[in-house]
Amino acid sequence: MITLADDLGHLSYTVTGAGTPVLLVHAGITDHRLWDPIVPALAERHTVIRYDLRGFGESAPPSGPFSETEDLGRLLDHLGHRRVDLVGASWGGRISVAFAHAHPERVRSLTLLAPAIGGFDWSAEKVAYDEAETAALTAGDLDAAVAVNLDMWLRGPDRGWAEVAPELAEQVRGPLRTSLVHQDTVGEHSQGVPGVDLTTLTVPTLVGIGLLDVADFRTIARRYAAEIPGARLVEFAGAAHLISLDAPGELTAALLPFLDAV
């Protein structure tokens, strides 16, 4: 990967293909490898940019206060891209929305896959997951914390491990472990991602949700699709939270025509 150094450490990124630029922003338990299954198809038509958020993957944990949305803009400035298509998954979706709200002139389109949102009234299931992760980390049992997250976000609540492609758990395990190791440092220094009045967004938007995802995120995705003017919702029957891993073919079949039409 290529390194963009600054006073807080560095961001690592990669660029593939040629054409109009598409920036992929990963979920909060993964890194740039979340997008591996869809990059080849995207790169046939687009310049595909992937990066690791601070404290994820190959990007250094922050040494001081930072803004996820400012990091995104700094990377685009460094690469010389004035305007891009943004694709964000989960936490990366929330970052993408905040950037599009603050800088609509820099965003051609938004694709939001199981996007996170602030101020949500989480279900008992989600609260139980948070408590189990916290208990494992407090006990110093990183393996148990990884297992809790794999159950929640990769397997999902409505299928058994026999229904998940065996290689996916190993693909997610390493990035997930790194994110948990740096979780406290990132949380300490992150200035947070501001909430957005979704009705004020003006860019073309595609929202995707896996029907095997946690019920809270299905609700959140439908809220995004309902409140963002002109947004379109696509449902992926065989996917849980990490749509690009569970349903890469179906995702590219929806994403490429959307990008072409923008």
Q: How far apart are CA 177 and CA 101, in angstroms?
A: 31
- Taking the domains of the chain in order of start, what are their residue ranges? 2-121+186-261
Bridge partners of 206?
111, 232
- DSSP structure string for 215-245: HHHHHHHHHHHHHSTT-EEEEETT--S-HHH
Upper half-sphere CA count for residue 86 (Cβ side, 13 Å)? 34
Query: What global pTM score does this model have?
Result: 0.96
pLDDT at res. 78: 97
Contact indicator for 95, 68 with CB cutoff of 8 Å: yes
Torsion-angle region of 48 (φ positive above 0: left; ψ -120 to 50: alpha; else: beta): beta
Indicate if the pLDDT at residue 250 is higher than 90. Answer: yes
Token readout for 105 is 């002139």
pLDDT in tens, 128-137: 999 999 999 9
Of residues 181 and 119, more confidently modeled: 181
pLDDT in tens, 155-168: 999 999 999 998 99
Q: How far apart are CA 176 and CA 155, in angstroms?
A: 14
pLDDT in tens, 180-198: 999 999 999 999 999 999 9
Torsion-angle region of 68 (φ positive above 0: left; ψ -120 to 50: alpha; else: beta): alpha
List alpha helices for 139-242, DSSP H. 142-149, 166-181, 183-189, 215-227
Upper half-sphere CA count for residue 128 (Cβ side, 13 Å)? 7
Mean per-residue pLDDT of the chain: 96
Sheet holding 84-89, edge to edge: 2-6, 9-16, 46-51, 20-25, 84-89, 107-113, 205-210, 232-236
Three-class SS state of 11: strand
Architecture of domain 2-121+186-261: 3-Layer(aba) Sandwich (3.40)
Contact indicator for 248, 38 with CB cutoff of 8 Å: yes
